[in-house]
Structure formats: structure tokens, C-alpha cells
Copies of this chain bind each other. A is one copy, B any other.
Amino acid sequence: MEVIRVVPGVPEKHIRLTRIPGKAGVLLSFILIFMLSVSAAGNAAAQEKKQVVRIAKLLIDSAQLENYMTALKEHAETAVRVEPGVLTLYAVADKNAPAKITVFEIYADETAYKAHLQTAHFKKYKNTTKDMVKSLELVETVPIVLAAKPRL
């Protein structure tokens, strides 16, 4: 077992390789990993408490469904990519009633949600789709459990 520290940006002749031998190295690694895990779990739990989770239920004009889905897809991908506080936008259509759409939305906190409403891409989406949406119900929620596999 070797613990090797490589310092980036330092000329090669100054790179130091520190070896912590044998069992001490293994033990140290486990302690570090454990401490990092506990810290990450604590942070994640604290962050999850502030999250805003909302469900949007929409009924779309069937004649404009394709255009609506294109606009929604573009908007969701942009928002998650460019806004640090937009964590999840999952949009699905009912298999038996494709004009009925549900969007499951997670924002980092209330500030992130409010900022989202002011973005150019959100305003563009709202404007593009305003005549496609026959009804919109927004359900505010309280999360019970948000369990998901790691996602890279």
C-alpha cells in the first residue's frame, strides 16, 4: 500500500512522492475515507432539507403536443445545465393520455427557484408555450424521501 501525493503544476524535479508504509497507510486511508463520507452525508442531509420540490401537472393541446414537448425538453436541459440551483427537471407523459404531462422539479432552495423564474430561457419557454397549455396545476410538496443512484 502506497499513499502517493502528486502536486500538480510543480516542475517534475520538485514533485515529492510521500510513502506512508504498510498498515499505517491502509489505516490512514480508511480513516480519511470514513471522515469524508460522514461529512458528505451530513452536508447532503442539510442541503436536502432546504430543497424545493414541486410537481407541475399540465394538459396540452393535442394538436401542438410535439411542439410543446420540443420546447419543454430544450428548456429543462438548458435550466439544469446553466443554473446551479436547478437540480432536477423530470418530465413525463401519461402512457394512456399523452397530452397529460407531469414535471417533477427539484431546486436547491427557494432563492434558486425564484432565480429560475427570472431567467431568459424560462421566460422564452413560457412565451413559446402559452397557447399550447390548456391547464396547469402546480403542487407544492414536502419531500419524504429522495433516493437516487449516483448519477455522473
Interface residues of chain A, those whose CB is within 8 Å of chain B, are: 2, 4, 6, 8-9, 12, 15, 17, 19, 40, 53, 55, 69, 72-73, 76-77, 79-81, 86-96, 98, 101-102, 104, 106, 139-152
Query: Of the candidates B77, B89, B143, B145, which one forms a contact with A77 in the assembled complex, judged by CB atoms under 8 Å apart?
Result: B145
A98 to B140, CA, bound (A): 11
A87 to B148, CA, bound (A): 6
Known: A72-B145, A148-B151. A90 touches B104 (CB 8 A): yes
Determine whether the beta carbon of B80 is less than 8 Å from that of A142: no
Chain A interface SS verdict (over half)? strand
Known: A104-B104, A146-B90. A96 touches B12 (CB 8 A): no
A42 to B90, CA, bound (A): 19
- Which of A19, A40, A53, A147 has the most CB atoms of chain B within a 10 A radius of its CB? A147
- Chain A to chain B contacts (Cβ below 8 Å), 21 pairs: A2-B9, A4-B15, A6-B6, A12-B17, A12-B19, A73-B144, A77-B145, A80-B148, A80-B149, A81-B147, A88-B147, A89-B145, A89-B147, A91-B146, A92-B141, A95-B139, A98-B142, A101-B144, A149-B151, A150-B151, A151-B151
Query: Of the candidates B19, B87, B94, B145, which one forms a contact with A91 in the assembled complex, judged by CB atoms under 8 Å apart?
Result: B145
- Which of A76, A104, A144 has the most CB atoms of chain B within a 10 A radius of its CB? A144
